[in-house]
Amino acid sequence: MALMDIVDDQDNVIGQKDFKEVYKSFDTKKPLLHRGVHVFVINSKNQLLIQKRSDKVSNPYKLESSSSGHVDLGHTYEQSAIKELEEELGIVINKKDLIFVGKIVPDKKTIWSFNVLYMINYEGPFKINHEVESVKFFKLSEIKEDLKKNKSSYTVVFNKMFHLFVDWYDKNKKNMP
């Protein structure tokens, strides 16, 4: 049994439930809110690493954030971001390497989790695990265009995260490391 934290409308932990029970709740009138984390990996050419999910996870073969996952029981968003990067892409970083981008809140129609987005600067190499089919860097403009034409090829959360990132990036790119 894999437990995860359940949160209220203000992202405060109010209990724990089994992962499967949380997912089953999405089809009810009372979906259980939880936490997710995403990391965008940006290279020196300002390209974003996109992962294609494997058939071993939810949303198989959809395009997704460089790295993403649920916040583990009792963990912070940062701890989970670091863990997901290592598990999915083989990237080992420190907390100081994470750059906070922003947070989206559940809309309770398509997204039932609070999701925090971080970014890191990283060129590679990558050691992908069973959750990831493949990874590839793309220009932000290429992703914008593809999202317009092929929105259903991407996960719902990625679409929101990408728009959050683009807004943040446009405001902060002059101060980027």
Residue 13 inside a domain? The answer is no
How high is the pLDDT of residue 133? 92
**Structural domain span for residue 104:** 38-175
Residue 165 inside a domain? The answer is yes
Residue 133 inside a domain? The answer is yes
Number of domains the chain contains: 1
Report percent pLDDT > 70 for the chain. Answer: 97
Residue 67 inside a domain? The answer is yes
Residues in the chain: 177
d(CA 106, CA 102): 14
pLDDT digits 0-9 by tens, 114-135: 999 999 999 999 999 999 999 9
Which residues touch 110 (CB under 8 Å, ≥6 apart)? 156
How high is the pLDDT of residue 114? 97
Residue 3 inside a domain? The answer is no
How high is the pLDDT of residue 61? 85
Residue written as token pair 């990237």 = 91
135: CATH: 3.90.79.10
Residue 30 inside a domain? The answer is no
In 3D space, the residue among 25, 7, 27 whose CA is nearest the CA of residue 16 turns out to be: 7
Ranges of the chain with pLDDT below 70: 1, 174-177
For the entire predicted model, the pTM comes to 0.93
Residue 118 inside a domain? The answer is yes
Average pLDDT, the chain: 92
How high is the pLDDT of residue 177? 57
